[in-house]
Amino acid sequence: MTDGRDKFEDDDFDDKDKGVSESVEEGADTGAEEGAEEAAYVPENPRCGFVALVGAPNAGKSTLLNAMVGSKVSIVSSKVQTTRTRVLGITIAGDSQIIFVDTPGIFKPKRRLDRAMVAAAWQGAEDADLVGLLFDVSRRGIDQDTQGIITRLKEQGRKAILILNKIDLVPREKLLGLADSFNQEGIFTDIFMLSASTGDGVEHLRGFLAARMPEGPWHYPEDQISDMPMRLLAAEITREKLFQQLHQELPYAATVETEQWEEFENGSVKISQVVYVQRDSQKAIVLGKQGTRIKALGQAARTELEEMLEQRVHLMLFVKVREDWENDPERYEAWNLDFGAS
């Protein structure tokens, strides 16, 4: 144990064999001749715009975002309030580039982190060309958080698209009743019924959104699917495994940061991350008996990171107690959240 941390290495890694190569800093001159790269694709009649996905916690926004993009860009959990920061997911449909803004669930905030998350969600909605309100149709009716979103959209004079999600879980009669209830609110221009988890109805929504994007050049290269830095996405993958494996034991008291990222000549990457918790008792929960829990956590995270990065990953996890990390401005800056949000 050093510096208050417990360390776990997911696999054996011999520094002698790593073949360290000197990395190039972002924005540095690589010496490549101008024009050497293949010319970027330019559509004939380009369209590009932003679609904000808003909704109550656990409505399925991140699942829909990943389905739209066709790859994982936002973490998913059965627990509410998993997403903490604004995530952009980028997809192409014909000549249209659709930039989805996955936002934290909108709910009544109590803590500083809650307030920052809700502020980020509303900022994403205000800046978007279109707003899609997701609703989990397995709920009994329009819940208080969703009604609050509708009220605020009315106050702002915003129209929205209603996306009834998880239609595979309820009978058709219930869907028609819900659609009628939402229609009476007077702010929804269109209603879509889909299942983000099965993909049913996703392509229909994608085509609709593509046709309604404003005319204009694409904002990102055609092969880019997110604007999230890889270090942050890697930390989010590990945090997702925390949510999945610790269930009710450690729901929101932990966060993950990527401290080090080393690329090697043999094509592998070494990623060092810190899991911050608020108390020693929580640290023991993350570690598990004789380190069994953090080992399982590391293996699950490494497997998904290797699939995502398409390279071998050496994942090193540390666990450290930081009692007041929720009130540390640096954490909020890393997540692009407003520390002073009210």
Residues belonging to the binding site for GTP are: 55-62, 102-106, 165-168
Instruction: Give the helix ranges, DSSP H, for the chain.
Output: 61-69, 112-127, 144-156, 172-183, 202-211, 230-246, 280-287, 292-309, 329-334
3 state SS of 222: coil
**Separation between Cα atoms, residue 39 and residue 168, nearest integer Å:** 43
Q: What angle do CA 60, 83, 115 make, to 5 degrees?
A: 115
Task: Note whether 88 and 101 are within 8 A (CB).
Answer: yes
**Separation between Cα atoms, residue 122 and residue 273, nearest integer Å:** 30
Report the binding-site residues: 55-62, 102-106, 165-168
Based on the number of CB atoms within 10 Å of its own CB, is 221 exposed (0-12), middle (13-18) or buried (19 or more)? Answer: exposed
**Separation between Cα atoms, residue 2 and residue 8, nearest integer Å:** 12
What does the chain come to in residues?
Answer: 342
Output the six-digit token pair for 204. Answer: 């229909």
**Separation between Cα atoms, residue 126 and residue 188, nearest integer Å:** 16
Task: Note whether 305 and 10 are within 8 A (CB).
Answer: no
